[in-house]
Amino acid sequence: GQQLNQSPQSMFIQEGEDVSMNCTSSSIFNTWLWYKQDPGEGPVLLIALYKAGELTSNGRLTAQFGITRKDSFLNISASIPSDVGIYFCAAPGGTSGSRLTFGEGTQLTVNP
Amino acid sequence: GAVVSQHPSRVICKSGTSVKIECRSLDFQATTMFWYRQFPKQSLMLMATSNEGSKATYEQGVEKDKFLINHASLTLSTLTVTSAHPEDSSFYICSAAGPGGNSPLHFGNGTRLTVT
């Protein structure tokens, strides 16, 4: 089936540093989504990408939809302690456009 | 924005009992809802797709008689874990999509199920 390979699996950074994570797949997707999950809560949508090559920002977050439609990356600039959490990429597939496949997640730890 | 409410947030039950989890779309109609399961330090695993007014579609390996799904209205889907066992302990999360299925999914806050 469709699979999203997300890396890195975890990151330990100092406050103020920039962060980059990415997802790749052997399949082509028409939408890429990035979510953040805090402990004990559901994922919250950060950025949605709908067009190959699209670069979209949400505050200190920037995400890009790869031109091949097989990858996407998420950057976080000037990290702060509240950026801690698990970040997931996701892409819809299957017969239902909203049936999401998730990456394995990137656990981000920010040291003050 | 779109809000999905999930209840309860935590539940502890004894082995052999059944537990019902509710997922509601608060400010939009959800023709399709999805139920996920998440083990510690792992990603979300899709269990089933719930369509309003029709039977749910279960992913391979998910027992439909064990995890009963009902989507009786455009704003409510329920997941019932029947005859729960300790191995059913997990974090269950629902999500909802609006009509057309092109809007990004919004997730509930999850239900932590512990079976003793």
**pLDDT value of residue B54:** 86
d(CA B101, CA B95): 12
B interface residues, A as partner, C-beta within 8 Å: 4, 6, 32, 34, 41-44, 46, 49, 91, 93, 95, 97, 101-110, 112
Higher pLDDT pick, B84 / A1:
B84
**pLDDT value of residue A96:** 53
Q: Which residue on chain A is closest to B51 by alpha carbon?
A: A96
Interface probe with A: pick from B93, B107, B113, B114, most Cβ of A within 10 Å: B107
Examine the pLDDT at A22 and tell me if it is beyond 70.
Answer: yes
Contact A51/B at CB under 8 A: no
Higher pLDDT pick, B109 / A3:
B109
**pLDDT value of residue B2:** 61
Lowest-pLDDT choice from A13-22, A51-60, B22-31? B22-31
Q: Measure B45 CA to nearest chain A CA, in Å.
A: 8
Of A33, A40, A44, Cβ closest to residue B112:
A40
Contacting residues of A for B107, CB less than 8 Å apart: 35, 42-44
Contact A104/B at CB under 8 A: yes
B52: pLDDT confidence band, cut at 50, 70 and 90? Answer: confident
CA distances from A76 to A51, B1, B40, B43, B62 (A): 21, 23, 25, 21, 36
Of A48, A101, A107, Cβ closest to residue B104:
A48
Contacting residues of B for A35, CB less than 8 Å apart: 107
Tokens of A31: 């939408």
How is residue A30 annotated by DSSP?
S
Q: Measure B30 CA to nearest chain A CA, in Å.
A: 11
**pLDDT value of residue B41:** 86
Taking only the tens place, the pLDDT of each residue in B16-36 is: 999 999 999 988 888 889 999
Residues 57 through 86 of chain A touching chain B, CB cutoff 8 Å: none
Contact A97/B at CB under 8 A: yes
Lowest-pLDDT choice from A29-43, A51-65, A91-105, B14-28? A91-105
Examine the pLDDT at B101 and tell me if it is beyond 60.
Answer: no
d(CA B9, CA B108): 10
Examine the pLDDT at A7 and tell me if it is beyond 70.
Answer: yes
Contacts of A94 (CB under 8 A, 6+ apart): none
pLDDT, mean over chain B: 90
Examine the pLDDT at A1 and tell me if it is beyond 80.
Answer: no
A85: pLDDT confidence band, cut at 50, 70 and 90? Answer: very high
**pLDDT value of residue B100:** 56
Q: Kindly state the percentage of chain B with pLDDT values over 90.
A: 72
